[in-house]
Amino acid sequence: MSEPIRHRGREIDAKDIAFIQQLIAQNPGLSRRRLSARLCEAWQWRQPNGALRDMVARGLLLMLHRAGHIQLPAKRCSPPNNAVRHRAVPATPLPSPEPWAGSLSQLGTLDIRLVRRTDAEALFAALLQAHHYLGYNRPVGDYAQLPMMRN
């Protein structure tokens, strides 16, 4: 390693990497999370409220692992409620993509409905995924419970 690595305001040099390698070697049974906590304790790496900067340390360890500077233990588990798994839009046949030409008055009245938790939600998600520049992201809350805004 020729130049120090900078991660979240801390410079990591060859001496620091050697320390991390020794920490991993001395604690072969620890998980990645426990190793990051030990690293925080050793370096006195704390947040202003006194809590360990555990997530920052985990990010550093993963970055060093991916760069080949250290060898982390195998990942033990993944969270069962992984948001990435829930992002997939169900395969729904889309209406014909032929453009429509005409005036707004020819369309008739516009009916806006809440589609959350209805049969139309899958079609709405597929249309957003196909035609909106941001794609579709699953909503977080239950919008039916929100109070209506009145003027």
What pLDDT, on a 0 to 100 scale, did the predictor assign at position 49? 92
Q: How far apart are CA 52 and CA 105, in angstroms?
A: 62
Q: How far apart are CA 61 and CA 20, in angstroms?
A: 8
pLDDT tens digits, residue range 73-94? Answer: 888 877 666 665 565 666 777 7
What per-residue string of b and e applies to 92-104 under the rule 16 or more CB within 10 Å gives b? eeeeeeeeeeeee
The separation between the first and the last C-alpha atoms of the chain, rounded to the nearest angstrom, is: 63
Dihedral angle sign, alpha carbons of residues 73, 79, 83, 86: positive
Evaluate whether 53 touches 46 at the Cβ level (below 8 Å).
Answer: yes
pTM score, whole prediction: 0.53
Q: Where are the alpha helices (DSSP H) in 11-150?
A: 14-26, 32-43, 54-66, 83-86, 104-107, 121-131
What pLDDT, on a 0 to 100 scale, did the predictor assign at position 150? 43
Quote the strand ranges of the chain, DSSP E: 5-7, 10-12
Per-residue tokens: 119: 């049969």
What pLDDT, on a 0 to 100 scale, did the predictor assign at position 128? 86
What pLDDT, on a 0 to 100 scale, did the predictor assign at position 71? 92
Per-residue tokens: 85: 């798994």
What pLDDT, on a 0 to 100 scale, did the predictor assign at position 2? 66
Ranges of residues in the chain with a pLDDT under 70 are: 1-2, 79-90, 139-151
Question: If we measure between CA atoms, which residue out of 11, 15, 53 comes closest to residue 36?
Answer: 53
